[in-house]
Amino acid sequence: MLVIDLEKKKTQLNETYDEALGWWTKQLLKYMYGDDVNMIANLNEEEEVTAKFKIVGEYEDVKAYAVAVARQKDYLDAYMEFGKGHPQTIKAEGLLNNASREFESLTGLRWPFTTEG
């Protein structure tokens, strides 16, 4: 099981933790793009969770991370469908930049991806 632990943010702000966060996020994005992976948020105790990852941390940190990951996926989708200079890609990039800044502001962690390059 993949565990993204945002609770360690206060004690492990180092390059190794940044690399781990990047790796975790890449794995989560792979799950999001996979054909046979269900993305499930288990809100009811009775339901069985089939996803093989867990995100732990303070509510606002986890929410900011989830929004940033979703915006990262939206940007990648737009980039692949329309190309870098298309208005929809530019809009998705702006939303991603806002979400990643919010994540960084709340957690003190660096968002592991950039749209520059």
Whole-prediction pTM: 0.69
Which residue is listed with tokens 């749209």?
Answer: 115
Residue ranges of the domains in the chain?
2-107
Task: List Cβ neighbours of 9 (8 Å cut-off, separation of 6 or more).
Answer: 57, 61, 107, 108, 109
E strand or H helix that includes residue 27: helix 15-33
What is the percentage of the chain residues whose pLDDT exceeds 70? 68
Are 6 and 103 contacting, i.e. CB atoms less than 8 angstroms apart?
no
Kindly report, residue by residue over 50-91, the tens digit of the pLDDT. Answer: 556 777 888 899 899 989 999 999 999 999 999 999 999 999
d(CA 108, CA 110): 7
